[in-house]
Amino acid sequence: MSITYLEAIREAQARALNDDPRVFIYGQDVGAFGGAFKATKNLAARFPGRVLDAPISEDAMAGLAVGAAIEGMRPIIEMQFADFSTVAFNQIINQAATLFWRTNVPCPITVRLPCGGTSGGGPFHSQMMEAIYAHYPGLVVMTPATVEDAYSMLLEAVAIDDPVIFCEHKLLYNHLKAEKLPTEALPVGKARIAREGRDLTIVAYSAMVQEALIVADELATEGWEIEVVDLRSVKPLDTDTVMASVARTGRLLCVGEAFPWGGVTAEVIARVACEGFGLLDVPPQRLNAKDTPVPYHPNLWAAHRPTAPRIAAAARKLLRL
Amino acid sequence: MSITYLEAIREAQARALNDDPRVFIYGQDVGAFGGAFKATKNLAARFPGRVLDAPISEDAMAGLAVGAAIEGMRPIIEMQFADFSTVAFNQIINQAATLFWRTNVPCPITVRLPCGGTSGGGPFHSQMMEAIYAHYPGLVVMTPATVEDAYSMLLEAVAIDDPVIFCEHKLLYNHLKAEKLPTEALPVGKARIAREGRDLTIVAYSAMVQEALIVADELATEGWEIEVVDLRSVKPLDTDTVMASVARTGRLLCVGEAFPWGGVTAEVIARVACEGFGLLDVPPQRLNAKDTPVPYHPNLWAAHRPTAPRIAAAARKLLRL
Amino acid sequence: MVHSPLKPEPVGDVSPMQELYLRAYRLMLLARVLDDKFASLYRAGKIHGGVFLGRGQEALSVACGLALREGDVFAPLIRDQAGRLAFGEPILDAVRTYLGSALGPMRGRDGNVHRGHPKQGLLAMISHLGAMISVVNGALLARRMKGIAGTVGLACCGDGATSTGAFHEALNQAAVEKLPLVMVVANNQFAYSTPTARQFACDSLLDRAAGYGFHGSEVDGTDLSACLTTLTAAADRARAGRGPQLVVARLLRLCGHGEHDDAHYVDAKLKHLPASRDCLKASEDFLRAQEWADAPTLAAWRAEVVQKVEETLAKVHREPAPDPFKENWYALSARHLCEGYE
Amino acid sequence: MVHSPLKPEPVGDVSPMQELYLRAYRLMLLARVLDDKFASLYRAGKIHGGVFLGRGQEALSVACGLALREGDVFAPLIRDQAGRLAFGEPILDAVRTYLGSALGPMRGRDGNVHRGHPKQGLLAMISHLGAMISVVNGALLARRMKGIAGTVGLACCGDGATSTGAFHEALNQAAVEKLPLVMVVANNQFAYSTPTARQFACDSLLDRAAGYGFHGSEVDGTDLSACLTTLTAAADRARAGRGPQLVVARLLRLCGHGEHDDAHYVDAKLKHLPASRDCLKASEDFLRAQEWADAPTLAAWRAEVVQKVEETLAKVHREPAPDPFKENWYALSARHLCEGYE
Ligand SMILES: Cc1ncc(C[n+]2csc(CCOP(=O)(O)OP(=O)(O)O)c2C)c(N)n1
Ligand SMILES: Cc1ncc(C[n+]2csc(CCOP(=O)(O)OP(=O)(O)O)c2C)c(N)n1
Ligand SMILES: [Mg+2]
Ligand SMILES: [Mg+2]
């Protein structure tokens, strides 16, 4: 048996619905249809009345989730694509994210964002939005890179008493497979050493972890040992694990699939520069997508986001310094 | 005669309306009332039919601006508070910011955002949003810190063929004064050395420039010469000027009034760390607002944002390293 | 709610309608006196940030609060001091929040009209207009899922807020889910300085009801009896499962948008229309005409609420302001997930 | 627009209505054949990303395009191949955009239905539903400011998009500004898999018109004559300064949401209702009943459009794909303000 990243997300939701009567799912086409990506397939039938189709009203979807959370429910809302969460932006950052701080009432909602580019996706079905949400106080932002994390982190997202932005990468949905679902997991907020090494630390998250691992494999054939750190959640961001890795390797490359201004790579490098300056043997480097919208055509799309060859080139440059 | 930051914004709009028939202003209460902050006072009377009250529809305000820009107009839209631009977020980042790249049709709109905290403003009338907009390709993000820049940069914002997010700081509106309006200005995209020094570079923007200058004065009495760089625009961000300053001083403190995750301070420090690592004699430092919503009560608000004493303390620490 | 709304002492053998009216009037009076107090504190520079009054809207607002019961959900907006009191919000909450007391429900983190007790059904508004309505929907949906029946949710907004996308999405959502939402629109002729002619172009905002599948009713917002009847009926219909309700009230904002605003843009003619009368005065006239209260009684009631307000202020003035060093600066309830900065 | 819409050869001494109908029919046919072609290319794995068809909506869509004139503004949505052709979009645009040709209007940057020539009044939709309507408003307001009279703007959307806040804000905005906006809602019973019962609760979306102060009309979207009449009348009213217009059409989406979707969730019963008929077939029946075209003529017309489509495809297949090394990667028109990364 094997299970995909997407199936893990579905199973996590099934388990959450099964174990906790306070959980429900709300989103466009999530009901009988099972969602645009089938992340909720069969759930409406298995859990009648608890997997509800929403009108095309992302603002009201997020607002409704907050209201239900106030009443003790634990809603999961699915945005059909992360990009459409811009319409719910106000409710997420101003309503959900401020509720606990303002009123002392927790806001346990999970916002599932199918993120990231796919071939042919184009400017409005491809965006990475983790940096936008991580900027705001009051949100937890998860970016699972493995099947196991997709499962266990989604369960934790639902269990956490705060709003969680759950960034699931569409490219991993069917492509990433594991043998079985995990029975234990790292705590939220802990990064993971996805591969050990001593020559260079590549910090990555979401689909970039897979690219980084390819690069590590490739550079291993050249004799380099690359350590890959999977951030898992970008807020909180596990600076300690990143710095411990940089302490071992002295070299840091941070890779993100988002737009280049700001974002996770800036935050990681700023933290290491401020708090772990002495650990760096050479200047840190970052790699992001290009500073244009995400292009539709596969040729352009493949050049827009960082992929193994570009990461490998950046890594080699760093290793030679 | 003296002129305030707010008056400079008003005069820039008057001049833009006067000089260019394609310019118009659209926003809530901007007409006869002259705007919540009086930034458009008397303009409706002086320019009949070109300063229009909008319904409480930020999404449609931004969309309308894009449509008018397509037809060759140069709209200025005023958000009553920057915080309400969250409702227009989708139209700004997905409609306005992608138009030129997608269609080759320029999108010369200016979005005026009254930003930043004031005493008693609270969580929803105080936000800094420059980092959110700077993250997206296709936008220019200006953060004027002086009366002169408020004037000349707003004129440039209107003249630029791309969407400009014009972040004007409410705390400076009436507080900051100049003798007269400038007749020339640095080009957009160039940072300014607000004060020369050789011991430490403080990079700041918007209202933080004033705080940094206070700190520089104060530390001068202790014998330190602090260089203050005013970024002026955060996208594009003038890395060259920042690095040239750090090359002189060897020490970097970056100060922002936004939330601590991501944002301008992360971007500046990441750039200097990646591109100017060798220029730094000691680890760079950053100072931001706290990671909670902006509090209402003056006691809390004053502690939430960086102010001269906190900046001075951070600077002293850096200088002693 | 947190405590039970002001009840008048029994005035002998009164009808339920009379009792409700008297209760409503005294709550309106309390709201007005409290608002006036905030206005004078504002003028004296004693309040941080803005002050927003319900002057002229007390009849509508109080009727909203009184149409609700314990266990219902209420999302007041900026002009709902009367409705809040009627729903059971203690005067202390308003005073503490306006004066920024550390002991207030918002602990100095938020101020003025941004207060509430969400767990008791009194939502704490965010500023973004229209945004609270879908939150009410969520609370109502949750109750349905939990099998709780017979409660309703009431959301207030102004004419201006009807232009927001959030208003639209939430009304449509309530209709699709057949939620017991009562949406009350106070058409007070202005959104800040913007007259309704620049805000919408339908004949009446009531014309929106059919487009959502809401039951709609209109009311003269200066007539307390009419407000009580209309709001109670709307809440009762929602409670009885007859779906969401839209109530549109016509009145005039008898103050500036906030106390910083002199409202010079309000046409004098408009102020002298019958529809612009002061609902508080109108209900006093009514009380006297009905002989439900004479001048000395009214004066005594006023004295009583003035004293209550003064006492509360005196108490709150002695309370501590929030202390930034005691503040925990955590935005998440899961503290272990908060990042430590600096 | 970029070129002038397909005109049939004169068929002798025909009435203007007959000529319009014939022209409309042949544009519908072209749109259908083109759509079918995209569907088969999709099945063959030759198209990157999704394919969205207008099957069953061609009558309504073509009527939208034909109601407009050069100089008008058109904001088509995902099912408007026919309307685009009628407004003058070259077939080449559709084929190049779907196949990602570097020579297409979007140069491979955007794909499928996301194409246009904004400067010629054909807006290039973003995906976010409802977002194009206020852009049309802006174009219309700009024209008014520039003193250009007599042009209108027409925006299309589906039943689902009416639930967006953007739709609401834009309609209200158009009404307040009295813009010559024609808003056409194709109620095709589904938004992706979601039936209208989960989308709205009003009796008809036409009930929304009064709430905005729009003139409203309803039309059978499967009846080409009715569509032509209704849309022309609506555009004429807008053109004559009679304010914004809402047209609601009833029909059924005769395909999946996209070609990846088999639409298994569409009830067979629904498919067999008269209102669910295929508008293209219905207009062929009409043409024959009227003796405006016989079977051989229809076959010849079809052969002609098939050839046109095949020729266009053959041409585009030889065109270059976008080259990432030639791409400039600048998102701003002011290149000196673009940051260089890497
Ligand atoms: C989305 C949004 N945009 C702008 C504002 C600023 N604002 C606060 S109150 C107000 C006017 C509200 O008018 P209305 O809804 O009629 O209520 P009223 O003040 O008349 O009671 C405006 C524009 C806001 N709070 N939210
Ligand atoms: C704001 C937003 N949310 C979600 C989507 C995803 N989406 C694309 S098309 C669609 C269904 C649209 O239905 P409708 O408006 O009825 O148009 P139809 O496809 O039936 O023509 C959805 C949900 C979107 N494009 N925009
Ligand atoms: Mg109002
Ligand atoms: Mg539809």
CATH number, domain of D116, equals 3.40.50.970
Nearest by CB to A300, from D108, D128, D330: name it.
D108
Mean pLDDT of B110-135: 97
pLDDT digits (tens, 9 = 90+) for D174-185: 999 999 999 999
Three-class SS state of A156: helix
Q: What is the percent of chain A with per-residue pLDDT over 90, rounded to a whole number?
A: 99
CA quadruple A175, A181, A186, A189: dihedral sign: positive
Residue B321 pLDDT level (bands cut at 50, 70, 90): confident
Residues of chain B in contact with residue C129, where contact means CB-CB under 8 angstroms, are: 56
Which residues pair with residue A286 across a beta bridge? A254
* Residue C152 counted as domain residue: yes
In angstroms and rounded to an integer, the radius of gyration of the C-alpha atoms of chain C is 20
Could you tell me the CA-to-CA distances from B72 to B108, C152, D138 in Å, in that order?
8, 50, 11
Whether residue D125 has pLDDT greater than 70: yes
B298–C contact, CB cutoff 8 A: yes
Closest alpha carbon within chain B to C113: B122
Please name the amino acid found at residue D276.
S
The C-alpha atoms of residue C172 and residue D337 are separated, in whole angstroms, by 43
Instruction: Name the DSSP class of D101.
Output: -
The C-alpha atoms of residue C57 and residue C272 are separated, in whole angstroms, by 16
The C-alpha atoms of residue C224 and residue C21 are separated, in whole angstroms, by 8
Three-class SS state of D154: strand
D71, D77, D82, D86 alpha-carbon torsion, rounded to 10°: 0
pLDDT digits (tens, 9 = 90+) for A163-215: 999 999 999 999 999 999 999 999 999 999 999 999 999 999 999 999 999 99
**Interaxial angle between packed helices D224-239 and D279-289, expressed in degrees from 0 to 180 and rounded to the nearest 10:** 100
Residue C10 pLDDT level (bands cut at 50, 70, 90): low
The C-alpha atoms of residue B230 and residue B145 are separated, in whole angstroms, by 7
The answer to whether B296 and B304 are in contact (CB under 8 A) is no
Instruction: Name the DSSP class of A80.
Output: S
> Which tokens belong to D269?
């019963």
Q: Which domain holds residue D20?
A: 16-322
pLDDT digits (tens, 9 = 90+) for D293-338: 999 999 999 999 999 999 999 999 999 999 999 999 999 999 999 9
Please name the amino acid found at residue D110.
D
Q: How many domains does chain C have?
A: 1
Whether residue C3 has pLDDT greater than 60: no
> Which tokens belong to D127?
């995906």
* Residue D259 counted as domain residue: yes
The sheet that has C181-187: what strands, in order across it? C73-75, C153-158, C181-187, C245-250, C215-220
The C-alpha atoms of residue A94 and residue B122 are separated, in whole angstroms, by 12
The C-alpha atoms of residue A269 and residue D266 are separated, in whole angstroms, by 52
The residue assigned the tokens 């939709």 is D125
Which residues pair with residue D220 across a beta bridge? D250
Pocket of ligand 1, candidates C80, C189, C257, C276: which has the most ligand atoms within 8 Å of its Cβ, to mutate? C257
Burial (0-12, 13-18, 19+ Cβ within 10 Å), A72: middle
C89–A contact, CB cutoff 8 A: no
* Residue D330 counted as domain residue: no
* Residue C39 counted as domain residue: yes
Closest alpha carbon within chain B to A263: B262
List of residues 6+ apart from A141 with CB closer than 8 A: A130, A133, A134, A164, A165, A167, A233, A234, A235
Count of residues in chain A: 321
Nearest by CB to D198, from C168, C176, C197: name it.
C176
Q: What is the pLDDT of residue D11?
A: 55
Residue D255 pLDDT level (bands cut at 50, 70, 90): very high
| Residue D157 beta carbon below 6 angstroms from any ligand 2 atom | yes
- Chain Cα centroid distance, residue A153: 10
Three-class SS state of B289: coil
Which atom of ligand 1 sits closest to the CA of residue C199? 16
> Which tokens belong to D8?
């049939």
Nearest by CB to A189, from C124, C145, C337: name it.
C337
Mutate: best of B50, B95, B103, B139, partner D, most D CBs <10 A: B103
Residues of B (121-160) whose Cβ lies below 8 Å from C:
121-125
- Chain Cα centroid distance, residue A130: 7
Domains and CATH numbers, chain B: 3-178 (3.40.50.970), 192-320 (3.40.50.920)
Residue C12 pLDDT level (bands cut at 50, 70, 90): low
pLDDT digits (tens, 9 = 90+) for B266-306: 999 999 999 999 999 999 999 999 999 999 999 999 999 99
Pocket of ligand 2, candidates D80, D128, D129: which has the most ligand atoms within 8 Å of its Cβ, to mutate? D129
Whether residue C9 has pLDDT greater than 90: no
Q: What is the pLDDT of residue C4?
A: 54
Question: Could you tell me if residue D143 is left (phi over 0), alpha (psi between -120 and 50 degrees) or otherwise beta?
Answer: alpha
The residue assigned the tokens 């095309």 is A56
Q: What is the pLDDT of residue B234?
A: 98
With an 8 Å Cβ cutoff, are A59 and C114 in contact? Answer: no
Q: What is the percent of chain D with per-residue pLDDT over 90, rounded to a whole number?
A: 94
Hey, which residues of A are catalytic here?
Answer: 58, 125
Mean pLDDT of D43-63: 97
With an 8 Å Cβ cutoff, are D321 and A297 in contact? Answer: yes
| Residue D113 beta carbon below 6 angstroms from any ligand 2 atom | no
Residue C6 pLDDT level (bands cut at 50, 70, 90): low
**Interaxial angle between packed helices D165-176 and D133-146, expressed in degrees from 0 to 180 and rounded to the nearest 10:** 20
Please name the amino acid found at residue C31.
A
Chains contacting chain D through 3 or more C-beta pairs under 8 A: A, B, C
Tell how strand B23-27 and strand A285-287 pair up.
unpaired
Q: What is the pLDDT of residue C14?
A: 82
pTM above 0.90, yes or no: yes
In three-state form (DSSP H/G/I as H, E/B as E, the rest C), the secondary structure along chain C is CCCCCCCCCCCCCCCHHHHHHHHHHHHHHHHHHHHHHHHHHHHCCCCCCCCCCCCCCHHHHHHHHHHCCCCCEEECCCCCHHHHHHHCCCHHHHHHHHHCCCCCCCCCCCCCCCCCEHHHCECCCCCCCCCCHHHHHHHHHHHHHCCCCCCCEEEEEECHHHHCHHHHHHHHHHHHCCCCEEEEEEECCEECCEEHHHCCCCCCHHHHHHHHCCEEEEEECCCHHHHHHHHHHHHHHHHCCCCCEEEEEECCCCCCCCCCCCCCCCCHHHHCCHHHCCHHHHHHHHHHHCCCCCHHHHHHHHHHHHHHHHHHHHHHHCCCCCCCCCCCCCCCCCHHHCCCCC
Q: What is the pLDDT of residue C340?
A: 80
Closest alpha carbon within chain C to B311: C342
| Residue C317 beta carbon below 6 angstroms from any ligand 1 atom | no
Burial (0-12, 13-18, 19+ Cβ within 10 Å), D302: middle
- For residue C162, the CA-to-ligand 1 centroid distance in Å is 10
Mean pLDDT of C262-271: 95
The residue assigned the tokens 């209007």 is D105
pLDDT digits (tens, 9 = 90+) for C55-95: 999 999 999 999 999 999 999 999 999 999 999 999 999 99
- For residue C105, the CA-to-ligand 1 centroid distance in Å is 23
Residues of B (219-258) whose Cβ lies below 8 Å from D:
235-237
Residue B222 pLDDT level (bands cut at 50, 70, 90): very high
| Residue D129 beta carbon below 6 angstroms from any ligand 2 atom | yes
Whether residue B69 has pLDDT greater than 80: yes
Q: What is the pLDDT of residue C11?
A: 55
* Residue D95 counted as domain residue: yes
Which residue from C83, C71, C105 is spatially nearest to C155, judged by alpha carbons? C83
* Residue D333 counted as domain residue: no
With an 8 Å Cβ cutoff, are D341 and A260 in contact? Answer: yes
Tell how strand A226-230 and strand A192-195 pair up.
antiparallel
Mean pLDDT of C236-257: 98
Nearest by CB to C134, from A60, A72, A160: name it.
A60
Closest alpha carbon within chain B to D74: B67
* Residue D293 counted as domain residue: yes
Whether residue C15 has pLDDT greater than 60: yes
pLDDT digits (tens, 9 = 90+) for C129-144: 999 999 999 999 999 9
pLDDT digits (tens, 9 = 90+) for A35-52: 999 999 999 999 999 999
Pocket of ligand 1, candidates B26, B29, B53, B56: which has the most ligand atoms within 8 Å of its Cβ, to mutate? B56
ipTM value, please give it.
0.98
